Every structure is written in structure tokens, then in C-alpha cells.
Structure 1
Amino acid sequence: MRVTNNMLIMNFMNDYNNNLERMQKDQDMLASGKRINKPSDDPVAVANSLRIRTDMSRNDAYTKNVDDAKSWLDLTDSSLGQIGDLLQRTRDLAVQGSNGTLTQTDMQNIAAEIDQLKKQMIQVGNTQYNGRYIFAGFKTDTQPFNETSNTYSGDNGTIKFEVGAGGNKMQINVTGDKVFDVSSGTSQLLNMMDNLKNALNSGDHQAVSNTIADIDKELENVLSIRADAGAKSNRLDLTKNRLQSDNYNFTTLLSKNEDADMAQVITNLKMDENVYRASLAAGARIIEPSLIDFLK
């Protein structure tokens, strides 16, 4: 095969361009810190990165749900704590009102405080989170309680947040029918407050004393519900810790899959620069001779 000068030059230019491409790739990795800057760099690694990023995105969504659920449950716990405190104060007043030595005026004063305690309970029962009534079940846009009646306007619908893979869901709401002991649409807790107030206003010490057992029952119910909400809140804390750990692992995997070994990149760049310079020197010897050079 006859080798011409043009063939030598073309082969040189191909090798020269390959050297430039290797240097360009080294410089891209050095500038970005990534060994993959386009899919063709490593198709398998790109596919792995896409899967990892999908898992990270899903993990972030679960984390946001956990944060939202935790805020809802924290507000629920605080509200249940307030209701418990109001019931405890109601019990103290009932014990005080059952004392036969109190005057009618004293009992009426206690009745007035009981009335205020009931109004405060209703206000707590209408607590909202991000514009949603937390004790209204599915009817989060409906005020569950009002001061003109002891009825419950919500339902017993459960609200669940997905907090993990595989359809891992958790109920985060407590319905008002359980907290306020609703039967046939009417709150027995609020009825009990009215009965206590009426007994105090009428000066019936025995009737006042009889309500103490009812107060204890309602107080026990609220404490039980609060304990369950607290257990769920603790579970959410554990779930968030696991999600954060998973996110750290995903980040580590993504880094191993995409990040360049900077020491190796710098070494390769130096080697490719030397090859490039050598190719330029060799090319100068190939291209330089011409017919005039031989005629000299």
C-alpha cells in the first residue's frame, strides 16, 4: 500500500483530535467535579443515577409528609393537653362545689367559671391547622362545635399520610366524636358541663358531687387519646430519623456513582497534556517537509 503525505497528515489530525477530546474530558471533570457530564460518558452509571435520584425524590416527599403529620399531631397533643387541663379544673371546681358549706352566691360564681371553661373547651375543639379543623374528621372545612348547641358537626373520617414506601400510611387525626364523647350527634362531655353548671346554680350539692365520676370518665378518655397521639408522634420521630439516614445513604451512593476522583483526573490530565505536546512535536515533523525542502 502506497502511503502518501496526505494519509500521514490525516492520520495525524485524527490522533491529534482524539488527544484534544481526552484533554477536554479531563478538563470537564476537573471543572465540574463529576465524571459523568453527558449520558454517553457512562450510560450504565447514568441509569443508576436516575434510579437513585428517583428514590431521593420519593424520600423527600415522605419526609415532607412526616413533617406535616408531626406538626398536626403536635398541635393535636397540645389541644388535648388543654382539654385535659380544663377538665381537671372542672373537677377541682366540682369538688369545691360539692361542699355543703358554700353559699348560693359561691356556687353561682363557680357555675360562671364552669360556663367559661366550657366555652374554652369548644374553642379548643375548633382548633385549626393550616385552615383545617383538626377534630372534624374529613369535614376539615366545617367547624365541629359551636356555643349554641352541644352537637358535633364533623364526622369520624380518618386522615392518613403516606410516610414510607410500600403504602406505609399513618392516621394523624383524632376525631372530635371520640374526644368529646359524642353519642347520637351530641357531646356527652359538653352536656356534663351544662349539668354541672345547672346543679351549681340550683345549689344542689349532691348533684354536683355526682358529676365528679362523669368528669373522671371524660378525663380518662382524653388522657387515653392523648397517649395514643403521643405514641404516633414518637413513631414519626423514628420514621424521620430513618428517612434522613436513607437520604444520607442515597447521597453517598450518588456521589460514588457520579463524582470524579480528582487526584486521578489531575494525573490523567497531566499525562494527556504530555501526549498532546508529543503529538504536536511529531506532527510538526510530519507536516513540515515539502518538495521545496527536498529541492534545496
Structure 2
Amino acid sequence: MSDLVGQVVVITGGAGGIGMALAQHLGNRGASIVTADLQDSAVQEAVQRLQALNIEALGVTCDVTVAESVERLAKRAFDWKGRADLLINNAGISQQSAKLHQADIADAKRVMDVNFWGVWHGCAAFGPLMADQSHPSAIYNVGSENSLFCAVPRSAAYIASKHAVLGLTESFREDMPDHVHVGTIMPGWVTSGLSAKEVAHLAMPAAEFADIVVPQMLARERFVVSHPYNVVRKEQRDQAIADSYARNAPRQDGDEAHDVRLLIAKMRSG
């Protein structure tokens, strides 16, 4: 397929795992790829892998925890081809397994810096530039099944970061004009550098994941999903919330009087 010829895709955390799989899939459809990662050697290796597949690629070393570094990434991307059609804020790290009160706080803060603030920086740097383009584009932030429920025990910082990515993305959607689509990718367990080698074979292969999610991204789905059984875990939480409302705050006539969205709309119209 060559339906993406002339389009530029920027992927953070693009040197391996999900990022590389998405780069290969999108590149094989004709897109030019800007792959960004923390280590220069990994970036250069990623570019060589893509070029070996006849995919046009630019490598940029980038620390997503530093706003200025992500701003430089945006400048490099736009200077390269004068446009960006798809940004995938994919860079992420895991945490050391520990109960919350026993976790290393520096490790927990590092997880938030990469997984949450890295996404924030990507949206802040690219959002205005993509809004200024006249053509349609999209920004996708990589959350997780852990955006919807607690999949991995003893991972409070990681789970909180992925919940935060979902909230950030939902809010950011409303900041962007209609021609800049914003959505969340919510992988289940996919083979990546985050998985221990001895159990990595149990995860969904990254290439298979890319085959599932890329068509959803190109269709501008709001929520991009992959692992069907995740809906079971999500519904367990949804049902628990619904049950609590049914017992403790059931619907009644006039209850919309305190709905924040309706109140904001009323104040803006009045």
C-alpha cells in the first residue's frame, strides 16, 4: 500500500517495541518517519532498520521529559518536510514492582516524568504547529490497558501515569481545532523493552499489534484498542461505579442542575 505517501509521522520512543512496529507499518504504507528516542545509538540503528526497508526516515535524539528537547524535535520534524501529519506520543517506561508505600519515590517520579509529562510536552510542542496546518492531522497518545483498570499489581506510578494520559488526551481533544484529531491508544500487553525477557513470549507481538491499531488510527478512532479481553476488566470497574451510584446517588428529577458541563454551557451562552 502507498496511501500515506507524502505524509510525515513522528514517533517518540520510536527505536524499539511498539514505536518501531508502528514506524515499519506506517512506513510500508508510504509515510516518511521521524523516529525519536533517548539514546543516539538506538536512534541511528532505528533509522538504518527503516531505511533497509526502503522507508524514508529521520532520526532525532530526544528526551521527552525536557520540554525544550521536544520543542527541538518538533522544529526538526517541520524543517524536514514542512509538515507533520501524525504524532504518536509513545515514549514510556515501567517501574520497579513494589507496594506504593515501599516504592522508590525517585523511580515513581521518573515514571511520571516520562509517561505523563513526556506526552504533555509532545502535545504542547506539536499541537499549535499542527493546528496551523490547513490539512487534517492527528495526535495519538499511547496509554495502556492500565488507563482503564489496574492490570499490573504493585505498579501504582505506572498505572497512575497511564490513567493520567487518558485524562490529558480527553482534555486536549477539546483544545484542538476539528482538523487535528486527538485520540488515545490503549495497548494490552505487547512485546517491548518493558517486558522481562523470560516472559516476553507471552505478550502480543508488536507487529501484530501494529496491524490491529494502524487502521483504527487512520480511521481517526477516538480510542484505539487491541486486546479484546480488556473489556471484561473494564466492565468490572464500570459496573462497580454504576452500582455505587445506584445505591448512593440514584438519578432523580432535576439532578442535572449540578452538572458541570451544563452549567458551563449555560454561563457561556448567558
Q: Which of the pair has the greater relative contact order for Cα pairs under 8 Å at 6+ separation?
A: 1
Q: Could you say which TM-score interval applies, normalised by the shorter chain?
A: under 0.3
Greater strand fraction, Structure 1 or Structure 2: 2
Computing the radius of gyration over CA atoms, which structure comes out larger, 1 or 2? 1
Q: TM-score, normalised by structure 1?
A: 0.23
Greater helix fraction, Structure 1 or Structure 2: 1
